[in-house]
């Protein structure tokens, strides 16, 4: 396959993950300048389970607000539009399950590393004045979206990729290109475009392995690309060299260990 064929087959696949309706509509809604807090609250409130999750996180120690947040509109008012959008996209992404076909792809490990990357990216940008740390969280979470997509839409071929990477200690990007005709960064960005994601989320997905190639002149996007690139390096180092030992010795959930260590 070439890249065009890979995109066509991926987008046409029955196994391609889809965003929940609320998340999809929210992306479009928040891109409009005349959108109000009431508009966003009304949309999010349509999904009772999602609303409950957002309120639970809003009232958790993660944010440590002095007052109780009792409604989605109040959550949006206090947290901000980007934070709520990030929470919606995060919950939507983390709810995606493996496909029907058997595969060697480790979905649990994928979610753990995605969450750790999100935390690392957020902590990295917290050191930079006026950086949007809420948006970078979801960017870090989604950076390897293409791996999930390829594992679901081409399970047999992606198993071959995983085996080649494991046996030959090869670079996954090169192996993906060789076997599938495109890599996970490329296909992740294409799926994100198909979902209607804004450029500020698409470009970090596409260039998180090669930040120097990002063509955008937007400083915010450049910061996001570099932060996501760094978070991927940090998580891979910690995951492979330190945390696996802690996990095997202490039997703690790896995502918990990663969040604590970062």
Instruction: Give the per-residue pLDDT at 3.
Output: 92
List the chain residues with pLDDT less than 70.
239-262
pLDDT of 214 = 96
Dist. CA 246–CA 250, nearest whole Å: 6
| Token code pair at residue 90 | 């995060």
Give the angle subtended at the CA of 145 by the CAs of 81 and 13, to the nearest 5°.
115
pLDDT confidence of residue 206? 96
Report the pLDDT value the prediction gives residue 242, as an integer from 0 to 100.
Answer: 52
pLDDT at residue 260 in the model: 41
Check: pTM over 0.85? Answer yes or no. Answer: no
pLDDT digits over 90-135, tens only? 888 888 877 777 889 988 889 888 988 988 898 888 888 877 777 7
Domain range 1-15+102-262, CATH architecture: Orthogonal Bundle (1.10)
Of 179, 222, 181, 183, which is closest to residue 200 (Cα–Cα)? 222
Give burial (CB, 10 Å; 0-12/13-18/19+) of 248.
exposed
Asked if residue 197 lies in contact with residue 29, where contact means CB atoms within 8 angstroms, the answer is no
pLDDT number for residue 256: 43
pLDDT the model gives residue 169: 73
pLDDT of residue 212: 95
Domain boundaries, the chain: 1-15+102-262, 18-95
């Amino acid at each position: 396959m070439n890249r065009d064929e890979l995109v066509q087959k991926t987008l046409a696949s029955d196994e391609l993950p889809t965003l929940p309706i609320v998340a999809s509509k929210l992306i479009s809604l928040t891109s409009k300048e005349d959108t109000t807090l009431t508009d966003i609250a009304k949309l999010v409130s349509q999904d009772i389970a999602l609303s409950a999750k957002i309120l639970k996180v809003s009232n958790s120690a993660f944010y440590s607000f002095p007052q109780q947040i009792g409604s989605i509109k109040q959550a949006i008012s206090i947290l901000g539009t980007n934070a709520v959008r990030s929470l919606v996209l995060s919950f939507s992404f983390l709810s995606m399950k493996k496909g029907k076909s058997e595969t060697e792809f480790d979905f649990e490990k994928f979610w753990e590393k995605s969450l750790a990357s999100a935390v690392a990216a957020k902590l990295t940008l917290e050191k930079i004045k006026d950086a949007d740390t809420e948006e970078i969280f979801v960017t870090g979470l989604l950076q390897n979206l293409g791996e999930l997509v390829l594992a679901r839409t081409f399970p047999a071929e992606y198993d071959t990729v995983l085996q080649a990477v494991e046996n030959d200690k090869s670079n996954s990007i090169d192996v993906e290109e060789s076997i599938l005709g495109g890599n996970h960064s490329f296909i992740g960005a294409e799926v994100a475009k198909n979902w209607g994601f804004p450029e500020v989320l698409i470009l970090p997905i596409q260039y998180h392995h090669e930040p120097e190639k990002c063509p955008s002149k937007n400083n915010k996007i450049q910061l996001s690309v570099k932060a996501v690139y760094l978070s991927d390096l940090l998580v891979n180092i910690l995951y492979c060299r330190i945390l696996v030992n802690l996990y095997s010795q202490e039997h703690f959930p790896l995502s918990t260990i990663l969040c604590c260590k970062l």
